[in-house]
Every structure is written in C-alpha cells, then in structure tokens.
Amino acid sequence: MLRVAVVGSGPSGVYTAQALLQQSRVPDVRVDVLDRLPTPYGLVRYGVAPDHEKIKSLQSSLRAVLEDDRVTFVGHAEVGGAGGVSPARLKELYHAVVYCVGAASDRPLGIPGEGLPGSFSATEFVSWYSAHPDASADGFPLLTPSALVIGVGNVAVDVARILARGAGELRGTDVPRAALEALGTSRVREVHIVGRRGPSQARFTTKELRELGALPRARIVVDGAELALDPAYAAAEGAGTSLPAVVRRNLDVLRGWAADPRGAAPDRERRIRLRFFLRPVELLERDGRVGGVRFARTAPDGAGGVRDTGAYEDIEAQLVLRAVGYRGTPLPGLPFDPVLGVVPHVAGRVIRDGAASPGEYVAGWIKRGPTGVIGSNRSCAKETAASLIDDAPLLVGREVTGDPLGALRDQGMRPVEWDGWLSIERAESALGRSLGRDRVKIPDWSGLLDAAGAGPGGAPRGRQP
C-alpha cells in the first residue's frame, strides 16, 4: 500500500488526491488530506466570493473526493507551525507527502503610507467577509464615503463588487453575521478601482467585469478619454486585431460603458469608477489615517509596460484595499524560493539542495505562484501525481508508521476528522436558521472547534485567535 499525505485541502490538494485515486499503476493508495483549518476546500470556502454561488458549488465535487473510502480528511492539523507536525516527521509517517498549501499572504506595494490605519490588503478584506478564523476580529466598519481598490485583477473586482452590494443582496449567502451587518450599514458610496497599466493589460476576466455593470445599486463610471490612452482600445474597435479574445471582450464592455456616460440607471446610489494608467506612489495621511492615494500618471511605453509622464493625481479615499496579488509563505522545514514565493520543484518534485527530494512534492499555488482559476489546479495536480506514481516503486519499499493519526494525537494535536467537519456544517445551518437565513459561516476558531467537538474551544497551539 502507498500511503500519501496531502497537505492542504484546497482545489490543488483535493485534485491531487483524486488523481492518485484515479490512476491504475499503483492500485492500493491511501491518502490523508491534512489542513491546518478544521474546514476543507481552501480558497473555495475562504476566497471565492459569497455571491458566486455557482463556483462555490464546486465544493460538492471536492467533497465527493474527500468522502472516498480511501481518503481521510484530517483538519486542524498544521504542518510546519509551532504546534504542528514537521515535514521531517511527516516523511516518517507517509511514503510520500504532497504540499498543496496555497499562497495565503499578500504582496506588499512597498510605498509610503501602506501601513496607515484604513489601508488593508484585499486578502484581509476577503478573509473577513469569508469568515476565515484568522481574520481580524476588528472587522471593517465601512463608515466612510470613498473606498479605493489598487489593482485590476479578479480579486480587485471581487472586493469592489462586495463593497458595492447591499446587505439585502448578500442575505441569501453564507456571509458571516458581522460582515453582513457592516455591509448593511455601509456608508461607502464611491469605489475606485485603479490599474497602473491600460485596460488591455487588466487581468480581470469578462464575466467578472460585466457583473459589475449588473449590480442593482451601483453605476459604473469610465472615462472614454482615459481608456483611449491605450492604443489597443482604439485599435480593437475594428475587426481582425491580434488581441486575445478576453482582452477584446473586456474592451468592448468598457467601450459600452464609456458610450453611456449617464449609466443605465443614473439614480443608483453607488458609483464604481474604473481608472487606468495610474501608478500608486504614496498613501496620503489625514488625521492619522489614510485619506487618499497619490498616483503617478503613466502612459504606454509601446512594449506592454508603462512609463511615468511626470504628472500626478490624488484620489480621495478613507479605505484602501491593495489587491495586487497573493504570495506564498515559507513553510518551516520545506525549501522556499523567496523571490518567486514558491517551493522549488521539477514536475512537482520538491528540489532540496539542488536535487529532487524523494517522497516530497508540491501542487497548486505554492508550486506555480498565485495565479489561475480553480480548474487550473487540476492539470497542475495531475502532473504532480504522475511524478509521484512514477517514483512509487522506490517509495513503497520504505517502512512507515501504521497509524499516522495516532502519531499526530500523541504529539498533542487535536485533529478534526470528516465527522467533525459535518458537525461544523450542521452548526452553520443551525446558526443560519436562528438568524432567519440559510447557512451562516462560523467566523472564529473557538466556534469552529466547539462545533467540531474537538474538545474545549480555542486557537490551536502556536496560532493567533
């Protein structure tokens, strides 16, 4: 029997488990899927926006894998942390370990004022409305009129959309109580989304962009003259351009909005202003908090990049969300490339001291970096699983401990197994019913662990509540 630990129960972890089960070269495979959280599914639970119910429903296909008899979900089992199990120990417990730990941190901007009160990473905001148990308990009061999102990727669009939605639009989702209340009393009326390059270089996808235009309470404002600074914007109007289809579609959507300056519904109370060619240089302070952002006006450099023009523009905003990408963090005991923020690998095999380390693998965002949709992780996981199966004849010869879960308990860990997760699901449904809603997420460690029946509540050792 080949015993594999997959670390991380997000899409890449679950797709790795699935690929290992679906192959036929090694018929007897057992997979333990460990996660530091007592809940499965990674960013599908804690990143995908609550109003993207169709994408959220992918959880049911991930669930089918985790419910396979050959798979054991082991939640609340951190690898590499102070109270967790070390990679070295995992190698003793399993023939192979696949690290699928994602890229949970944010990329800093590295400009003055970034640390001012009122300036947050989109990661923090997403974690808050997704009820991640590590999210700050302080929350986001949303009592100021203007918010600004730096970056024009899909995360920027997600956070802007949530800011522009009313509580009524989110009541039917599992968004946690505190976030729903804060969004319900939000005084934010303007949301700026600002890109440092042009609209043809924006990273958002057309479906997500269009969705902004369909928000019932918000009107989109774009400036045709600013869009036209991008040569591709003018060129794309005629047929036969060599632009990728997604770029052409994005430009068409923007062109439609620019042509209708009043917006489809001038009475909508909120504005989303999409801005381009503005590079953030400083977050401006007012009364000890962020009061706005200073941007350098840029222009296309003819090679897909931009150059500064020497002009500046300040935009007022009392809440700034930096949506400039996620970043992998080092896992103690595992090699890490600090420049790329990934674990070095060849075809999924972890590279230690310049050579492939037998029995250690990576998949997902910690392997490729923080880009790609859920489906991208399937092919990535398949490649890794194929490498592992190729190595299996070498790996299975080694004796491993028969009861890895017992070994984790022996070192003081309190794993939450599948039944514990099902108890959390039931508790979230009960919480929802008590609030007159469907399911509502439990936002804190102690609530999750109590619901899972994992002994007295509280943060796991070595973690902030």
Ligand X SMILES: Cc1cc2nc3c(=O)[nH]c(=O)nc-3n(C[C@H](O)[C@H](O)[C@H](O)COP(=O)(O)OP(=O)(O)OC[C@H]3O[C@@H](n4cnc5c(N)ncnc54)[C@H](O)[C@@H]3O)c2cc1C
Separation between Cα atoms, residue 4 and residue 90, nearest integer Å? 10
Q: Segment near ligand X (CB under 6 A), from 4-12, 178-186, 282-290, 397-405?
A: 4-12
Q: Which of residues 333-372 bind ligand NAP (CB under 6 A)?
A: 370-372
Min CB(324)–ligand NAP separation in Å: 4
Instruction: Single out the segment in contact with ligand NAP by CB under 6 A; choices: 76-84, 146-154, 163-171, 394-402.
Output: 146-154
Task: Pick one of ligand NAP, ligand X, none as the site partner of residue 35 (Cβ within 5 to 8 A by kind).
Answer: ligand X
298 binds ligand NAP (CB under 6 A): no
Please report whether residue 195 would count as binding ligand NAP according to CB under 6 A: yes
User: In the window 115-134, what residues touch ligand X (CB under 6 A)?
Assistant: 126
Give φ, ψ of 161 to 5 degrees: -65, -45
DSSP assignments along 329-362, one per residue = ---TTS--BTTTTB--EETTEEEETTEEEEEEEE
Tokens of 411: 């070192």
Is residue 444 near ligand X by the rule CB under 6 A?
Answer: no
d(CA 219, CA 263): 6
Of 25, 21, 26, 27, nearest to 6 by C-alpha is 21
The three state secondary structure string of 270-309 is: EEEEEECCEEEEEEEEECCEEEEEEEEEEEECCCCCEEEE
3-state helix, strand, coil in the chain (%, to 5): 35, 20, 45
Residue with smaller CB distance to ligand NAP, 39 or 154: 154
Looking at residue 459, the DSSP 8-state letter turns out to be P
102 touches which of ligand X, ligand NAP, none (CB within 5 to 8 A by kind)? ligand X
| CB-nearer residue toward ligand X: 47 or 198 | 47
CB 50 within 8 A of CB 170: yes
Choose which of 364, 404, 415, 443 interacts with ligand X (CB under 6 A): 364
Q: 215 contacts which partner out of ligand X, ligand NAP, none, CB within 5 to 8 A by kind?
A: none
Query: What residues line the site for ligand X (CB under 6 A)?
Result: 7-13, 34-37, 42-43, 47-48, 52, 55, 78-81, 100-102, 126, 155, 158, 326, 331, 364-365, 372-374, 377
Query: What residues line the site for ligand NAP (CB under 6 A)?
Result: 109, 150-156, 158, 195-197, 201, 203, 208, 280, 323-326, 370-373
